[in-house]
């Protein structure tokens, strides 16, 4: 069954939550006039054949990668956009980034952290142009474990702007770009390392609304986007870099760590019960091993992966001079956000800490003096981003389902039973988690009748048994 939605406009969500979607003319002019503050400090690394891998059509390119064989291991070059080069401490542009904290991803158009002249042009690692970057060089042994790493400001030039669909096709055809030919090999090794750390690494497929034309009318469909292996391999390089950054900060007792407490025993037991309801048997496997092998592209796999998000609650940021070091349970060690400075404020400041520590220098005063502001901004804007994500998903689901009130849908009961006021179900098509009145048993499959799809309230409700 294909379900079509009316045209969707998420500006109302942005307005409701106070998400700024535009920049003033003054800020745009300041961004356009900004020059590389660290031009004289850069090494020339334009000989490294870096490439970017991002969703099709992306222009805010934070990272570029190249992997080489090295003796009995590998060398990973990872260039990160040097956004700090364009933003003067104390400037109006810096203050605006503290107000926004991070890019808020509305489905129709992101509410960006920086003006587009920076995020999609001057600071973005676009193909075929010189760009300022912070270049991480990470040496791995044959098992994919870190031997050593360095980082420095550099001038880089990306050779190609690749997208996940194209790289996936190249992998299937055995014709990967030479700069990332070793990415699957290194990615798998790093995944194995993740298993040894007992880290919980989520591979969440995205739900999106696709627009197409049918019978001379614009229609919209809620779909599950494929989760390609190369996405996970590429993610491992980012995680690797963040772990190096976190270990460097923890060693010196200064910096901004990304933290996450371990899941409670009760949460793990609840997760095992829920995935059993979805038809999976973990037996003696750890949750880490189960998630690593789960087919997240299937409706049931997607449901299980989304349920695993509930194991990773309480993420935050700590500044080490003010708080003790804490690990990130989803990573299995110390971790820092340093690989997405075009999209997160934290990454720009954490990178400056790493540069200082790696070169035996003091952390710049303009970084350390704003530690409190930084942690508060990231806490409030992360909560905001989560609220906006939920509101946009609820709006999409209600809009898609509104014409189908009274229709029966097949669903799996994730949480049910006689003691619950409402059951929690997963509708397989379209892929929707929702509540249902009635008392079906956990793990059962049944037809549920859609009794409510209120766009204004962004609310969906089903009933069991179906009429």
The pLDDT-based confidence of 437 (bands split at 50, 70, 90) is very high
410-427: string of b/e by CB count within 10 Å (b at 16+)?
ebbbbbbeeebebbbbbb
The predicted structure's pLDDT at residue 5: 53
50-59: string of b/e by CB count within 10 Å (b at 16+)?
bbbbbeeeee
**Separation between Cα atoms, residue 255 and residue 236, nearest integer Å:** 22
Beta bridge partners of 139: 75, 148
Eight-class DSSP state of 322: T
Q: How many CB atoms neighbour CB 146 within 10 A?
A: 17
Q: 170-181: per-residue pLDDT in tens?
A: 999 999 999 999
Query: What CATH number is given for 404-461 in this structure?
Result: 2.40.50.140
Q: Which of 452, 317, 299 is nearest to 376 (CA)?
A: 317
The pLDDT-based confidence of 39 (bands split at 50, 70, 90) is very high
Q: Is the pLDDT reported for residue 453 higher than 80?
A: yes
Beta bridge partners of 278: none
The pLDDT-based confidence of 1 (bands split at 50, 70, 90) is very low
Q: Considering the chain, what is the average pLDDT of its residues?
A: 90
The pLDDT-based confidence of 467 (bands split at 50, 70, 90) is low
Cβ atoms 59, 117 nearer than 8 A: no
Q: 194-225: per-residue pLDDT in tens?
A: 766 767 777 766 666 666 666 666 555 666 66
**Separation between Cα atoms, residue 1 and residue 418, nearest integer Å:** 31
Measured in degrees and rounded to the nearest 5, phi and psi for residue 409 equal: -130, 140
More confident call, 233 vs 262: 233
**Separation between Cα atoms, residue 238 and residue 236, nearest integer Å:** 5
The pLDDT-based confidence of 334 (bands split at 50, 70, 90) is very high
Which of 17-21, 282-286, 410-414 shows the highest mean pLDDT? 17-21
User: Angle 379-382-384 (CA atoms, 0-180°, nearest 5)?
Assistant: 110
Listed by start position, the domains of the chain span 2-260+313-400, 404-461
In the chain, the N- to C-terminal Cα span, in Å, equals: 19
Specify the 3-state DSSP secondary structure of 256.
Answer: strand
């Amino acid at each position: 069954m294909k379900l079509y939605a009316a045209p969707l406009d998420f500006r109302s969500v942005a307005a409701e939550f106070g998400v700024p979607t535009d920049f003033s003319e003054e800020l745009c002019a300041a961004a356009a006039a900004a020059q590389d503050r660290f031009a004289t400090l850069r090494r020339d690394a334009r000989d490294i054949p870096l490439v970017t891998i991002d969703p099709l059509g992306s222009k805010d390119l934070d990272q570029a990668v190249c992997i080489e064989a090295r003796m009995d291991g590998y060398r990973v070059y990872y260039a990160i956009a040097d956004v700090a080069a364009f933003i003067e401490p104390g400037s109006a542009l810096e203050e605006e980034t503290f107000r926004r904290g991070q890019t808020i991803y509305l489905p129709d158009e992101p509410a960006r952290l920086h003006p587009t002249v920076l995020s999609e042009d001057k600071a973005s690692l676009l193909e075929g142009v010189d760009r300022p970057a912070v270049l991480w060089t990470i040496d791995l042994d044959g098992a994919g474990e870190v031997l050593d790493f360095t980082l420095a400001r550099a001038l880089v030039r990306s050779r190609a702007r690749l997208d996940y669909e194209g790289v996936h096709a190249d992998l299937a055809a055995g014709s990967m770009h030479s700069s990332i030919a070793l990415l699957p090999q290194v990615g798998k090794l790093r995944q194995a390392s993740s298993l040894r750390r007992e880290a919980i690494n989520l591979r969440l497929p995205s739900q999106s609304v696709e627009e197409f034309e049918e019978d001379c009318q614009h229609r919209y469909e809620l779909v599950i986007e494929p989760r390609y292996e190369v996405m996970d391999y590429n993610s491992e390089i980012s995680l690797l870099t963040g772990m190096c950054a976190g270990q460097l900060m923890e060693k010196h007792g200064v910096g901004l760590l990304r933290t996450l407490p371990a899941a409670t025993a009760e949460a793990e037991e609840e997760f095992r019960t829920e995935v059993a309801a979805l038809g999976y048997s973990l037996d003696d496997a750890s949750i880490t091993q189960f998630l690593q092998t789960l087919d997240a592209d299937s409706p049931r796999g997607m449901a299980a992966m989304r349920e695993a998000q509930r194991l990773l609650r309480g993420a935050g940021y700590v500044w080490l001079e003010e708080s003790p070091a804490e690990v990130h349970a989803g990573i299995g060690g110390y971790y820092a956000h340093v690989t997405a400075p075009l999209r997160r404020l934290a990454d720009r400041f954490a990178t400056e800490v790493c540069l200082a520590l790696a070169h035996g220098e003091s952390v710049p005063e303009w970084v350390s003096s704003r530690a409190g502001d930084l942690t508060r901004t990231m806490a409030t804007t992360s909560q905001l981003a989560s609220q906006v994500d939920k509101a946009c998903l609820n709006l999409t689901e209600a809009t898609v389902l509104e014409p189908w009130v009274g229709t029966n849908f097949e669903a799996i009961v994730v949480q049910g039973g006689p003691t619950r006021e409402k059951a929690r179900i997963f509708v397989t098509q379209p892929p929707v988690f929702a509540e249902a009145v009635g008392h079906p048993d956990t793990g059962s499959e049944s037809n549920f009748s859609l009794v409510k799809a209120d766009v204004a309230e962004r609310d969906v409700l089903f009933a069991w048994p179906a009429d």
